[in-house]
Each structure stands twice: as structure tokens, then as C-alpha cells.
Amino acid sequence: MIALALLLLAQSAAEPTVIARGEKIFAQSCSVGYCHGVAGAAGRGPRLRGRTFSKDYLLNVTRDGIPSSAMPAWKGRLRDDEIRAVVEYVASLSSATDPAPPANPMPPGIGPAAIPSFSGPPEAARGHALFFDPARNNCSVCHAVGGRGIAIGPDLTTMRTNLIGPAPTTLPLKDAAELTSQIHATGSRHVLTAKLASGEEFPALLAEQDSSQVRLYDLTVTPPVRRTFARRDVVSLTQNAAWRHEDFVHDYSASELEDVVVYLRWAATGR
Amino acid sequence: MIRGLAGAGLLAAALFAQDGSTRNDWPHYGGERSAWRYSALDQINRTNVGRLKAAWAFQTGKVDGGFNATPLVVDGIMYVSSSWNRVFAIDAETGKEIWHYFYQNPREIGIIYSPWTRGVAVGAGRVFFGTLDNNVVALDQKTGREQWRVNVEDMRQCGCNITGAPLLVKDKVIVGVTGGDSAHRGYLTAFDVNTGRKAWRFWTIPGPGEQGHDTWAGDSWKHGGGATWLTGSYDPDLNLVYWGVGNAAADFYGDARKGTNLYTDSIIALDADTGKLKWYYQEVPHDVWDFDAAYECVLFDAPVNGAPRKLLLNVNKGGYAFVVDRTNGEFISAWPVAENINWIKGVDSKGNLIGRNEPPVGKTFITCPSIGGGRQWNHGSYSPRTKWFYTTGIEWCQAVTVTPEEPKAGLNFFGGVFQLRPPMHGPAGGHLDAYDPVTGKKFWSYPSKYPLLASQLSTAGDLVFTGDPEGNFFALDAVTGKKLWNFPTGSGHRGSAISYSVKGKQYVATPSGWGSALAGLLPQLWPETEDFPPGSTLFVFALPEER
């Protein structure tokens, strides 16, 4: 795919329409705030105006970002053709010698770049918004889906069995309402009760341990806290039968949880 | 008049209800939690500062994004953080490292609030800091080993993280969040120092059913900014935590969030135990300029119309210092720290903004000051000896083009673009000034070719220390503004100097290391600054031994 894109870049002389398109995308996505500045005139990010970069380099960096830097990977945020247009535009800036960019960098009436924040089907969109809803004690402070959220447990994209049943793809999907009540009622075999030498006791998930220390997620409140103890300070770790999901999902109504289930099922199964 | 001031100040200092002076230690980000950045040490003073010499230097080893921190000193040990969340404990007398902790950030941060950090909090046997990937971490103060950490929110989802220093109040560590230029809803969170468990959270944008929610049109409250990206103050007598709240988002495009947009651009006063709002004061209703109220809250007492008052001073990014009564939020005064201000014509006697000059959508418009502010975030200093406030100001403007923008979770949310422009009057540049903190009367001004982007430190030796972008670290006479001492550190200053004492000897310490978001913008007006060398070195100074 990259090779193909490179080939295309090499073959096509930069057409004015492509550059103009790249200019708009750049203005919306790359010049903003503390990044590359208007028309690449420098910001928090490096100046691009009046500098020569190879298009291969620009393409790689724009697509994949620069590790250990503020330069993000734009693949997934911009379409391939949009990234290529930006590359053509940045390449066209190499001959710009005027330090002052155009007076009006973005023509009026140009809207923001269309970067959908959720690309799934509409029926899953509501649950997606609820899962990540920053305004409440939300699912994503303990769970991740598709790499988003804080995964102290497994990414829920992989929870096919729970969402579909024991034999995936052959059995009908479980009823959303039934799953919702399960979310409320179920505990988890992974949740432990940690007892410390100090007498403190709390529901915990085991994060990691070695010969000298134990790391536990303290589940007393959200967000969970990863706490590190010397082994001798942890008296016992036993299965916690009392822990229930219910105490942590009370920010959601039953019907909202059903929406969340619809979203999770789509994320895990594609339907 | 000026000669008599220092002596009178000494007397007055003894009467202060809240003494914000530091002594041997520099225990909190702002010195003490009243954010004076004033040291009562006077071994180094106006008569001998000319003999100040470098005692030692410390390299953090990671040069990226500038060295933006305030070091802390507790019982002869310095705690300091640098870019990419490197944390060090250093013998404050010798410069020898005691331990270091390099936090493992993901390789790609991908958000604009990185990779600088502004400092740590120390107490309860721990060192606390926030991370570029939005964790709060507690280390054992003696060993530097991790005790707990909590991921506050997925940074990819919120487009937010933590670059400010936490504030320690009793058994809680209070931590702000960036995200004011992202589609994010801001908050302030307190964690239990022992367990890391969340103790309380205050949303800087009220949710449905909460008072102030109706100051946001539609769903705009969900992505309305209100970051708490710097460090607040604390008054133990009132048990109130004060925190400055940042701009409303989108920064420039406000049509989708009609209303005053509480509590953006406001000072909030919270009960330290519960996080409940006691009062607020909004400096800029419905901000369309990115004029945060996020800078330091300086707590000081002074007479107003003859009656003693407990006051709070906050310099707004728009270039006005606001003074309010810190017991109830009553407006006292507002005065400018920069000359080139055109977004308002002024502030009336009740605190209302006069003559708002809002950039229209879709047209290029000149706004002064620029998004970088009539002052940057680096903090001013209050001296109880002169009873003056020392702060910087910047003269610059910008061409801004406002465009409608939809919020997208985790991504920037500016609602426009900007380009720095020279000011309307006089050359672009900066200055450091001494003011009466209540009236804004200016006593002296130290001009600078470039904006001064480091904090001020004032001392009982009647000195004001700060650094400039060219790498000079220098001392001014606090009473006259005259430069008394200069030391070239080789890289520009974006951090905050402190003073402390070990075994009866006074030291002055400063981070040196050019970089940061603002440093990156400077070439738009001063092309030569693009080649200013970055760095990340802590310099420590003391007087040579008497022979």
C-alpha cells in the first residue's frame, strides 16, 4: 500500500488542485495551535516553509508520525488521498522564501476536515458515545475497545464468547437486555480481595508480580489505581465473591446499558 | 519614597496573616502555597550579588521541549522533573544525584501538550507528578520507587494529559489537566496521597442539572475546554483551594457555545476537603481569544480603601491582572500588564469588560495580544518587603481567522488559525515590571528584546531573578529595576528559579533549556530564534566562601 502510494507520488507532478486541497487540509489539521503554524511558518512543530524534504520522508512521517514526539500518525485520522494532498502541499512550500504567509490562510466558508469520530453503524453510535462519555463514571476508565480506553482487563473487542455465546458465529446473538442484566449481576473470577499487613482490605486485580513485589489494581473507586507493594506487605489475595459490576455502572440506566451492549457486540463481531 | 519602602515592608511582613515566604526549603511549586515565589533568605543581596558564582550544574540528559520546571527543595534534597517525565532527587548542596525515575511514556504522545513538564509535589513521604500520557504517579520520596499510579483518562480519547505540577493539601494531592485546545471538558481531581484513590472531582464545566450549565448552548458543554493546566493555591485559614481555569473551546469560534461559558476563564475557590465550589469569579465571559485565567493565583493581604483585605491576584492571558477578595470573589481591581491590548477597551469598576472586539468568523482580524498572551504562563513574584508584584508583559499581536469547527474527541479544537504580527505601537518584545498589586501603579520597567518566558523569583535580599530567551540568568534590584548580575547559561529560560538554604548557605537555582510551544512560535516574529540552542540543565549559584 505504501509502495503503491509512493509510486503514485513519484509519477504525478504536483497538480495545482491537489496542492490547493492539501493546503486546506493543512490549514485545518496541521497549522492549528502550537503545531506547524500558518502555511508552515513554524509553531511548536518545526518550520516547513522554505525547507526541502523528500516526499517519501513527508509521506512516512505524515502517515506514521514520529515516535517520541508530538507528531501524530495521521493514518486513520485522514484518508490516504488527503495525506497525499498534504504531502504535495508541504513539498510545494520548499520554494516559499517569504517569511510572511498569505494574509488569509483559510478561505471563509471552509468547514473543518471531516474526520468521523465513530465509523460504525448508527445503531452502535449511541453505545459508543456512552461507553466513552467523559461526563460520567464511564466504562472506558477500566475497559478498552479497539485500543481506546484504559485496559486494566482485556480489550472488550475480544469478548466474543460473552457477547455471542459459547459457539461464536453459529448461535444467534444474545438478547441485549439479557446481556445488560448479566453486566449488572456478574462478578468476575478475576477480582480478588487484597489484605495488607496494615489491615487494609480492598477489591483488586493482579497487575503483575515478581519475587519481591506485587502490583495490584485497587478497584475501590474509579479510576482504578495501580499500587505497588512489597510481597511481605500483602497478607493474602483471595477470590472476591462479593464484587459486582453493578456498583460501578450506576451512572448508566438499563436502556443506556443496552445501547452499550449493542456497541460492544458490533465491536466484537461486526454485527 | 522608594528608599523608605523596604524598611516599611519588613514591618508589614510580620503582620501578614498568610506568610508566603519560603526559608530553607522551597516546599511547593509557588514557594509556599500562596504562590509568592519569594524567599525570606537575604544572604545573597543587593550589595553582594555581583559576586554570585556557579556552584554546580545538573544535566537531565533529555533535551526536548525546554526545561519548564520549578525545582522543589525539602530538607536539603532537591526534587525536579524534566521533559518526558524524568524525575530526579539531587543533593541540593553538592549536585550529586540521589535517585532518578524515568517514567515510561508511550513512544507516540501525539497531542500538543508535550513533552514538557512543570514540576512535582513533595509530601507524605512521596513525590507526586502527572505524566504526558495522563497518569498521576506517586514515588517513594527516599528511593524514587513507584508506589501508586492512576490513569486519569485515556489521552487518545480526551486529547488531554498532565504537564502542570500537582498541589499537596493535607491528605490529598490535587491535579489539573490540559485539554483546553482540545474537544474536552475540563476538571480538577484530588487523590488520596496514600492510596491514589480519587477523593473528589470538580468539573470546570457544570453538567446537566448543575448551576451554570445553562451558560452553554446545546451540547457545547461536553467539549468546552476549561483546562486546569497549571497549579493552584491554598489558604489554610479559609481551607480553600484556588485554581485558575483556562479558555473555552473551541478557542476562537464561539457561535456554537453561546452563553458566558462558566467556569472557563474563571478563578474557582473550592473547599479543600470536598471539592465543592465556594465561589467563582469569571474574568472573561464567553472567551473567543484563548485568554485563559489559568495562571497562578497569588494570595496576599493589603489595604483597599483603608481597610485590610484578603486578596487574590491572577494575571489573565489577555494582559489584565485581576484582583478579587479571596474570601468571597468580590471584584477589587483590574489593570494591564501589556500596552498593546485591543480585544477590550478596558475593565470597569465592577469588573465588566468594556468594548469587546470579537474577531468575526471567516475574516482575518488583528487581535492584541496574541494567543501567546499579554503575559505567558511563567509566574510573577510578590515581595512582602516592597509589597510589589513583579511580572512580565509581552507586546505582540496576531492575525486570526476564525472558522467554524465541529468537536472531535481527542483532537485539537481551535476553531481558527493565527499568525503572529508586530504590535500596533512600538516594537514587538517583552518587559519585566514592578507594580502595586492592587492599583497596578508601575514603579519600574526592565525592557527585553524578546518576550521574557521564565518565572520571577524575589528575595529578602531585595533581588528579582529571572532568565531570558538568549540564555542569560540575571538579578535585578527589586527596588530600582537595575541589573546587578548576569550569568550566561547557554540556553534560553522557560522555567522557574528558586532559592533555598543548606547548612546555613543560600543558593539560587534555575532551570535553563530553551523550548516549548511558545518558543516554537517565536520565529514567526523573530526568525533568528529558530536557531536558539535547546538545553536542559539546572544551574545552581552561591556566594564564594569568605577568605
CB atoms within 10 A of CB A79: 15
Amino acid B287 reads: D
Confirm if B382 and B458 have CB atoms less than 8 A apart.
yes
Cα(B133)–Cα(B163) distance, rounded to whole angstroms? 10
Q: For B9-13, what is the mean pLDDT?
A: 45
Answer with the residue of higher pLDDT: B320 or A109. B320
pLDDT confidence bin for A73, thresholds 50/70/90: confident
Kind of pairing between the strands at B483-488 and B266-271: unpaired
Cα(A22)–Cα(A130) distance, rounded to whole angstroms? 34
pLDDT digit string (tens) for A114-126?
Answer: 334 677 888 888 9
Q: What is the mean pLDDT of chain B?
A: 94
Instruction: Enumerate residues 501 to 520 of chain B having a beta carbon within 8 A of any beta carbon in chain A.
Output: 516-517, 520
Q: How far separated are the first and last CA of chain B, in Å rounded?
A: 37
The SS3 assignment for B255 reads helix
The SS3 assignment for B214 reads helix
Q: For B440-458, what is the mean pLDDT?
A: 98
Cα(A87)–Cα(B298) distance, rounded to whole angstroms? 47
Query: CA-nearest residue of chain A to B199?
Result: A221
Strands (E), B351-461: 353-354, 364-367, 381-383, 388-395, 397-402, 416-421, 429-435, 442-448, 457-459
pLDDT confidence bin for B492, thresholds 50/70/90: very high
Instruction: Enumerate residues 393 to 432 of chain B having a beta carbon within 8 A of any beta carbon in chain A.
Output: 399, 401, 403-406, 408-412, 414, 417-419
Cα(B402)–Cα(A61) distance, rounded to whole angstroms? 28
Strands (E), chain A: 144-145, 148-149, 192-196, 201-209, 213-218, 225-230, 234-239
Structure confidence at residue B547 (pLDDT): 62
Q: What is the dihedral of CA B484, B490, B494, B499, to 10 degrees?
A: -50
A:B CB pairs within 8 Å: 165
Q: How far separated are the first and last CA of chain A, in Å rounded?
A: 28
A61 pLDDT higher than 70: yes
What DSSP designation does A253 have?
Answer: -
Phi-psi region of B362 (alpha: psi -120 to 50; beta: other; left: phi over 0): left
- Using a 10 angstrom Cβ sphere, with 0-12 exposed, 13-18 middle and 19 or more buried, the burial of residue B386 is buried
Cα(B245)–Cα(B226) distance, rounded to whole angstroms? 6
C-alpha cell at B523: 520565529
Residue pointed to by grid coordinates 451540547: B219
Q: Highest-confidence range of A3-12, B394-403, B440-449, by mean pLDDT?
A: B440-449
pLDDT confidence bin for A102, thresholds 50/70/90: very low
Answer with the residue of higher pLDDT: B301 or A148. B301
CB pair distance less than 8 Å for A108 and B158: no
Confirm if B158 and B410 have CB atoms less than 8 A apart.
yes
Structure confidence at residue A187 (pLDDT): 62
Structure confidence at residue A186 (pLDDT): 62
Instruction: Enumerate residues 8 to 27 of chain B having a beta carbon within 8 A of any beta carbon in chain A.
Output: none
Q: Which helix (H) or strand (E) holds B541?
A: strand B537-542
Q: For B187-212, what is the mean pLDDT?
A: 97
Cα distances from B16 to residues B221, B300, B310, B330, B445, in angstroms, run 41, 8, 10, 20, 27
Q: For A124-133, B258-267, B441-450, which range has the lowest pLDDT when averaged over its residues? A: A124-133
Q: In what order do the strands lie in the sheet with B53-59?
A: B53-59, B537-542, B505-512, B498-502
Q: What are phi and psi of B521, to 5 degrees?
A: -85, -25
pLDDT digit string (tens) for A166-221?
Answer: 444 444 556 767 777 766 666 667 889 999 999 999 999 999 999 999 999 999 99
Cα(B493)–Cα(B456) distance, rounded to whole angstroms? 11
Q: Which helix (H) or strand (E) holds A122?
A: helix A122-132
Residue pointed to by grid coordinates 448508527: A122
> Min CA distance, A149 vs chain B (Å)?
5
A105 pLDDT higher than 80: no
Residue pointed to by grid coordinates 484518508: A79
Cα(B20)–Cα(B13) distance, rounded to whole angstroms? 10
Answer with the residue of higher pLDDT: A99 or A18. A18
Structure confidence at residue A173 (pLDDT): 56
Answer with the residue of higher pLDDT: B487 or A253. B487
How large is the ipTM?
0.91
Using the Cβ of B195 and the Cβ atoms of chain A, whether some distance falls under 8 Å is answered with yes
Q: Per-residue DSSP letters for A28-91?
A: HHTSSTTSS-GGG--SSSPP-TT----HHHHHHHHHH--TTBS----BTTB-HHHHHHHHHHHH
From B133, B181, B265, B290, the catalytic residue? B290
Confirm if B282 and B205 have CB atoms less than 8 A apart.
no
CB atoms within 10 A of CB B437: 23
Cα(B467)–Cα(B492) distance, rounded to whole angstroms? 7
What DSSP designation does B215 have?
Answer: G
Q: For A240-244, B96-100, B333-337, which range has the lowest pLDDT when averaged over its residues? A: A240-244
B42 is known as an active-site residue: no
Q: Highest-confidence range of A90-99, A240-249, B465-474, by mean pLDDT?
A: B465-474
Structure confidence at residue B366 (pLDDT): 96
Residues paired with residue B378 on neighbouring β-strands, in sequence order: none
CB pair distance less than 8 Å for A223 and B153: yes
Cα(B122)–Cα(B128) distance, rounded to whole angstroms? 6
Structure confidence at residue A4 (pLDDT): 46
Residue pointed to by grid coordinates 533568605: B41
Cα(A21)–Cα(A71) distance, rounded to whole angstroms? 21
Nearest to B239 by CA among B209, B288, B274, B205: B274
What DSSP designation does B546 have?
Answer: P
Q: For residue B110, which residues of chain A lie inside 8 Å, CB to CB?
A: 65, 70-73
